[in-house]
A and B are shown apart, each in its own frame.
Chain A
Amino acid sequence: MDQIIEINQLTKTYGNLKALDGVNLSLPKGKIIGILGPNGSGKTTLIKIITGMIKNHEGSVLLDNKPVSKETKALVAYLPDQLYFDGWMRIKDLKVYFKDMFSDFDVNKFETLQKRFKIEDRVLIKRLSKGNQEKLQLAMVLSRNAKIYIFDEPIGGVDPALREIILETIMSYRNMDATVLLSTHQIYDVERLFDEVVFLKEGKAILHRNTKELVDERGKSLLEIFKEEFKYVV
C-alpha cells in the first residue's frame, strides 16, 4: 500500500528530556490513524515536527515522499491543540486568509460548516466563546480538501456534547481520500473511528497496528488494550 508519511529514526530532545526517541513509522494513504498515548508521551511533538512547527530534530520525515517544506505544508490541514487566531481577525478576514493561502480551501464547505455550527460572520473572533472559536478553527481546517488532516487533541478539554459534534464533523466533512491523524489521550468512544492506531510511550512508538486486527487478536477493547499497555488499572 502507498505510504503518505514516512518517519525514520525521529528523535527530539528538550534539554535532557527525550520527547521522541528513535520513532519509525510508515503511515498509509486514506486511513484514519489514532496517535494515542498519555500526556507527555510525545504526540504533540511528533505532530509539530510533521507540520513543520518544530524543525530542530534528528531523523527524517517525508510527506508524500518529500521532506517537510512549504510544498508539504500545502498538503496538510493542521488543527493545533491551541487557538491560533489573531486579535484583529474577523471571520471574513480569516476566510480571505485561508482562501489566499490554501488553494484547496473550499468556501462553500466552510459556509456550510459555519451554518451548522451557528457561528456569526461579522464578529471579531476573539469575542466568540472558546467553544465557538474551537468549532471555527475546526471548520477552517475541514474546509480544505487536503491530502493529510492532522488533529492534535481536538477533543481534549471539551464537554461531551461538543466532543460528539467534533468527532462527527471530522468524519463527515473530511476529504474522504485523505489520511487523518488524530492524537488523543482520551480513548473512550473513539476506537470505532480508527483504521489504525499508534501507541506512543515515553517518546517511543511501541505499537502500530490495524485497529480491528489488534482488538480481535487480543480479545479486548482498544481502551482496555491502551490501559494494559500504559499500566493503568482497568
Chain B
Amino acid sequence: MLFKLMKHEILASYRKFLPLYLASIGISVLMALSVEIDNVLLMSTSMLFTIGTMMMMVIFTLYTIMMNLGHRVFGKPGYLLFSTPSSTLDILVSKSVVNLMWLGLSGVFSVISVIVFYLIAVGKDIQLIVDNLIAELSLNPEIIFTSSVSLLINGIYTIGFLIFLFTLLNMIYKGEKKIVIGILLYFVLSQVISLIRTSLYRGTQFIPILGGTTGSAVWFNNGLLLLFAAIFYVSSYFIIEKRLELQ
C-alpha cells in the first residue's frame, strides 16, 4: 500500500513540477543567449530574470508541498485518502518521502539552471568546469559530505515541520479561517522552536552563526533538527491515529 500511495502522490504533482523544471532551464537558456549581445543592462536584466525564476521555483515548490501536506490530507480530498485501506504510517511516510523528493528535485533543477546559464553565458568549456568541480570535491570531501547531509536533514525537518503544522491545525481549529490561523500557528511554532534552539545553543561552547559555521556546530545543529523532525513526525502520527477529525 505504501508504494501505491507514493505512486499516486507523485502522479498528483508531477504535472505541475515537470513543466516548471523544463521552464526554468528554458528561461536560463534564453537569458544566457541574450547575454551574448554585448550589453551590460541586458546582462543585468538576464541575471535578475534567472534569479527571479529560481525564487519562483522555491515559492511554487513550497506552495505545492504545503497543498500536498495540508489540503490534500485534511481538506476534502482527505475523505478519499483516509477511506483507502492504508495505515497512518503509510500515509505519513508516502507524503514525507515524495514531498522530500520534490524539494530535492527543485533544488537540483535550480542548480542545473544556474549551470546552464553559466555555461552558455560565460562560454566556458563544460569539461573544464567538471574537472574543476571534481578537483574541488577531492580536496574537501568532508565539506561536501557535511553539506549534503545538512541539506537532507534540513529537508526532512522542513517536511516534518509542515506535516506537524497542518496536523496540529486540523486538531485545534475547525472553523473557516484556516489560512489565517495556520499562518499564526506557523509563527508561534517557529518562535517556540527558535527559542528552544537558542537556549540549547547557550548550553554549548558553540557560537551559532547561520546555524553554525564550525564542523562541530553544524553537526550539533543537524542533530537538533533531526530531533525536532522526529518529534514532529511522531506527534503527527499520534494526532492522526488518535484524534483525526475530517470536517
Chain A residues near B (Cβ < 8 Å) = 14, 48, 51-56, 70-71, 73-74, 76, 78, 80, 82-86, 88, 93, 96-97, 100-102
Task: Give 6 A-B contacts (CB < 8 Å), ordered by A residue.
Answer: A51-B83, A52-B244, A70-B85, A73-B83, A73-B86, A84-B77
B77 contacts across to A, CB distance below 8 A = 84-86
Question: Is B45 an interface residue, CB under 8 A from the partner?
Answer: no
A125 CA to B78 CA, complexed, in Å: 16
Q: At the interface, yes or no: B178 with Cβ under 8 Å from chain A?
A: no
**Known interface pairs A71-B85, A78-B83. Does A55 touch B8 (Cβ–Cβ under 8 Å)?**
no
Minimum C-beta distance from B9 to chain A (A): 11
Measured in the bound complex, the distance between the Cα atoms of B77 and A162 in whole Å is: 24
Indicate if the CB atoms of A101 and B4 lie closer than 8 Å: yes
Collect the chain A residues with CB atoms within 8 Å of residue B8's CB.
97, 100
Are A52 and B12 in contact, CB atoms less than 8 angstroms apart?
A: no
B124 on the interface (CB 8 Å rule)? Answer: no
A74-B79 in contact (CB<8A): no
Is B131 located at the chain interface by the 8 A CB criterion? Answer: no
Output the nearest chain A residue to B87 by Cβ-Cβ distance: A70
Please tell me which one of the listed residues B16, B72, B83, B90 contacts residue A86 in the complex, with CB atoms under 8 A apart: B72
Interface string of B173-194 (1 = CB under 8 A from A): 0100000000000000000000
State which residues 116-164 of B face A: CB under 8 Å.
Answer: none
Q: With a CB–CB cut-off of 8 A, which chain B residues contact A56?
A: 242-245
- A55 B83 Cβ-Cβ under 8 A: no
Closest Cβ of chain B to A92, distance in Å, is 11
A56 CA to B171 CA, complexed, in Å: 10
Question: Looking at A82, A93, A97, which has the most chain B CB atoms within 10 Å of its CB?
Answer: A97
- CB B73 to nearest CB in A, in angstroms, measures 11
Assess A76 versus B11: contact at CB under 8 Å? Given A53-B246, A54-B246, A86-B77. no
Nearest to B16 among chain A residues (CB) is A88
Bound-state Cα–Cα, A56 to B11, Å: 31
| Interface residue ranges of B71-127 to A (CB < 8 Å) | 72, 76-80, 82-87, 90
Smallest CB–CB gap between A180 and chain B, Å?
16
